[in-house]
Amino acid sequence: MRGTTRQKYLHLLVLAVMWLALTNLAPSAALAQLSYVARFELEKPQYMAGEPIFCKFVLRNTGNRVLAFRYRSPSRVLIHDAEQEPDFRVTDARGQRLPDPAPQPCGGTQGTVVYGFVALPPGQTQSERWLLNQWARFHGPGSFRVRAERRLALFETDPKTGKFAERPAAFASALDELDFKLEASTPARLRAAFAPYLAQIQDAKERDPAEAVMVVTTLPQPFLLAPLVAMTKPAKPQRWDRREALTGMARLGTPPAWQEIVKVARGAAPESGSANSRDDSLRSYAVLLLAEKADPAFLPVLLGMLDRSTEPVRGDVLHALGFFSGTGASQALFDHLHSPQVADRMNSILGLRNLGTRETVPALLAMLRDAEPQVRGVANFALESVTGHKEGSATSPEEASRLADRWHDWWREHGGNFSPARPTACHDW
């Protein structure tokens, strides 16, 4: 009996040592000590067409340790493979996926996401509301299903430092399929649905109206135009990026909305606020939206702004002209290649790059011999973008001359049958 007891004791001791080793060497062994529940849920089973639809992510700490995760304002990120982000796919009654209304920025994905840590004590629940309309464009009433998925990194405190560990302790995964219906709406009912969000925006005491701003700029209605115009005006404190209001107007897309964007771009309309004429960032963004819309009616507006604008708005106008196929736009760009201002020449080259036609290549080749190295560098970049061909780079006047020769040789060989690729449609709204 004594020997058997000793053997059992040694066996248990070996198992304990192995368990400790596995706990230290394999993080997965420690994950079982954490406990949580993660799920998605809709706030109600039926909505009105045009109404904000929120899908809520709920995380409950069912263990006995404090957990933390990265948290941010729940607006959609355009980086599709970004960690932590939810993924929503909405289908109609026939199983067809609804179109994705996400912007397609002409300059590539812009901006970053700033995360903060939120601690979740045992027994507590944290929820985030995600505006489903950012992932699906609803055209009218019907029955729909959303497939909601997320994999969220969870962190716990380091026993030695008392701070949250740098590496995740686990990943909370949620995958749910939820059904809901849209019914027909009326202007009066929609006004009532948006009233709480407008109240948050108009209440100066509301310090964080981010969700309300997201709603009115993602789902603009004609009756929201006046509030959107008011949101472009400066305020103290400034509780949102005023460019978001311009984005909302572009999404609304009505002629009055575009006229308000024109006023901001010009920067001189008293009804839009005289401060707009001094806000280059706001004006530049308005110019970008006009360019991406590329309505020929906006071309005279931009051409008229050239002589009255200074940098950086002037440069943005030259970039914008490249989105218009009319002869007036291309002629203005060709003319400004001869400007005594270096910035004008560089921005005209970038405008021709946006235009991307076969006729722009000879002018870009000529700019490879400009007296300014910055201009030559931008011309080389523009040629690479338009043609899809590369001839290297240059760091000295001698190398620049040889680079220009190589480009001219390439064009003589390939220019006869060259056809530039059609640029992909893009917009920031």
Q: Residue-wise pLDDT tens for the chain (429 aa)?
A: 444 444 544 444 434 434 444 444 444 434 446 899 999 999 999 999 999 999 999 999 999 889 999 888 888 887 766 778 899 999 999 999 999 998 888 766 555 666 788 899 999 999 999 999 999 999 899 999 999 999 999 998 877 787 888 889 999 999 999 999 999 999 999 999 999 999 999 999 998 899 999 999 999 999 999 999 999 999 999 999 999 999 999 999 999 999 999 999 999 543 444 444 458 999 999 999 999 999 999 999 999 999 899 999 999 999 999 999 878 999 999 999 999 999 999 999 999 999 999 999 999 999 999 999 999 999 999 999 999 999 999 999 999 999 999 999 999 999 999 998 877 778 888
- Rounded to the nearest 5 degrees, what angle is found at the Cα of 106, between the Cα atoms of 78 and 218? 50
Pairing of strands 170-183, 142-156: antiparallel
Residue 396, exposed/middle/buried by CB under 10 A (0-12, 13-18, 19+)? exposed
Q: What's the gap between Cα 148 and its chain centre?
A: 20
Q: Which residue has the tokens 């639809």?
A: 53
Predicted model pTM: 0.84
